[in-house]
Amino acid sequence: MSEAALWAALADAHRRAIVALLLAGPRTVGEIAEECGLSQPSASKHLKVLREAGLVRVRQEAQRRLHTLDPAPMAVLDAWLAPYRKLWGESLDALGRRLDEQPDTTEPTPKD
């Protein structure tokens, strides 16, 4: 699994929708296709890309194949996003301080 494969897998909106769906729990390809508005062959192709990127695992349960989310590769993405999260946090903190310094100009509304 490479970082490039992760980003490529998540670049597609349908695959992001599948990942979000699997966050709630395991699904069969039929359930994924139905809930994401895809044909079964299209859902299977998207799942193959997600499996190859390491984001999805498949397990056999009787006659069904259940697809589950593998959270481990998300740590790579989280590490990449960490400096940006810090940047946004600092920016939002500065905005909060600035807003706190402004006088409250809202007037109370008269009650009926």
Per-residue pLDDT tens over the stretch 71-80: 899 898 888 8
**Among candidate residues 45, 5, 7, the one with its CA nearest the CA of residue 18:** 45
38: Cβ contacts below 8 Å, ≥ 6 apart: 14, 32, 46
The model's pLDDT over 26-58, given as tens digits with 9 standing for 90+, comes to 999 999 999 999 999 999 999 999 999 999 999
Dist. CA 30–CA 12, nearest whole Å: 19
Q: Helix, strand, coil: what percent of the chain each, to 5?
A: 60, 10, 30
81 bridge partner residues: none
For residue 109, name the pLDDT band (cuts at 50, 70, 90): low
